[in-house]
Each structure stands twice: as structure tokens, then as C-alpha cells.
Amino acid sequence: MELIQRRLIALMMMFMVGMASLPAAADEMLDDQINQRPSAGAMALDALIARPLLLALTTAGVGLFVVTLPFSALGGTMAESAKTLVSGPAHSTFLRCLGCTKIQDEWKNKQVATSVTND
């Protein structure tokens, strides 16, 4: 019985040490993802697959927004539904950099806004 308790304590200690190192590893992975430029393959897949699908999603979102507009207006959620159904997919379709992830695009836009305000 004592052997099981020792192993359980050792397992808990290993788990705690592993959990303590996760935030540092997450910061490194996020930094790598932000600073990496998209590869040619990512750009090609984005242009050939993701953008056409996002365009279809944007078109479907516009249609769904128009259909649900009376209900959204009555409920007072018109701006929220427009942002969710139309603006979000449209931004990803037309304004996101080619091959970029959402994090990379947000970082790039933040850098552009910072440089514009500094000039």
C-alpha cells in the first residue's frame, strides 16, 4: 500500500511540474506563430480552398441576415447578428492576409495601427 502512495505522490509531483511549465511553452508557441510568415502551401490552400468557402459563407450569411432581419430588429440584436453573420466572414474573406492565421492577422493589423498613430 505504501508503494502505491509513493507512486501516486510522484505522479502528482510530475503533473504539477508539467503544468507549471505550460504558460512559458504557450508564450513561445504564440510568438512563433505570430512571427512566422505563411508558407507558399498555406497561401495556395487559402486561395484555392479557404477563400471560396469563406465567400460562400459570407453570401449565405447575408441571405440569413436578410431573412432574420425582422426578428433581429424586434429583439434589438441587429448589430450583433450583422457582425456575426456578415462582417466576420466578410473580413476573413476579403481583408485577412493570404495564408495568415487569425492570430497573425490580428497582430499584423495591430502593428499597422501602431505605425499609423506614430507617424
Could you tell me the pLDDT band of residue 35, with boundaries at 50, 70 and 90? low
Provide the whole-model pTM.
Answer: 0.62
Across 36-40, 49-53, 62-66, least confident range? 36-40
Instruction: Look at residue 13 in the predicted model and tell me its pLDDT.
Output: 82
- Cβ 93 vs Cβ 58: under 8 Å: yes
55-80 average pLDDT score: 94
- Cβ 43 vs Cβ 99: under 8 Å: yes
- Cβ 93 vs Cβ 51: under 8 Å: yes
Instruction: Look at residue 32 in the predicted model and tell me its pLDDT.
Output: 53
Give me the amino acid identity at 76: G
Residue 57 half-sphere exposure, CB side, CA atoms within 13 Å?
16
Instruction: Look at residue 26 in the predicted model and tell me its pLDDT.
Output: 59
